[in-house]
Structure 1
């Protein structure tokens, strides 16, 4: 399972860089934003995002590993259903994503001028 890599875990890193490492992963901002108000099963999240199952599982595993997303498993007979939701840590990223969206919209307007 892939982690968000830093060269040496014993040294201090720039907090902005660590946040960028998290949010810079493909599909991560969209996953976090999709889970902002709701708990979703893997298939529901995949249909919502339109990405491949393989990529989605990889990114969800990273987010679960770093306690940004929680994977709640429900056992029903011989099947297991996975439900994904944001942790409190994950919810702290929502205002950052909102600010990034706002900046992106303004930046796009400036490019078009």
Structure 2
């Protein structure tokens, strides 16, 4: 997979996960494999179409793996790849920063 990326690594990261839904999908999958319906329920206001688009894009980027089971009704599960899991420290930092920000703003 030879893709062209921006020269700045921060911009590359934002290109891959800089959208609200992608970050929240990562947040949910950090804890382990989830079914499509579980993700949709956890994300709340996301439409089925947008969730499908984001998951496909993340799969193409090598962050998510999709596993379909030949069952009736069909069952599809999503989990993070090793590359996707490597984003955990970034998400942890975002969590910590967000908590600290909320605390400081609420004190003012």
Smaller-chain TM-score bracket: 0.7 to 0.9
1:22 aligns with 2:16: yes
- In 2: Cα distance, 1:106 partner to 1:37 partner: 22
Which of 62, 65, 70 is the matching residue for 1:75? 70
Paired residues of 2:16 and 2:61 also in contact (CA < 8 A)? no
1:109 aligns with 2:93: no
- In 2: Cα distance, 1:23 partner to 1:29 partner: 6
1:64 aligns with 2:26: no
CA RMSD of aligned residues (A): 1.9
Over 6 Å off, 4+ runs: none
1:85 aligns with 2:98: no
What SS does the corresponding residue of 2:62 show, helix, strand or coil?
coil
> How far is the alpha carbon of 1:70 from its aligned partner?
0.2
1:39 aligns with 2:37: no
Residue segments in structure 2 that go unaligned for 5+ positions in a row: none
Distance 1:24 1:82, change over 3 A: same
Which of 49, 54, 65 is the matching residue for 1:54? 49
Give the number of the structure whose residues are more often helix, by fraction. Answer: 2
> How far is the alpha carbon of 1:12 from its aligned partner?
5.7
Between the two proteins, the alignment pairs up a number of residues equal to 104
State the TM-score, normalized to the length of structure 2. Answer: 0.83
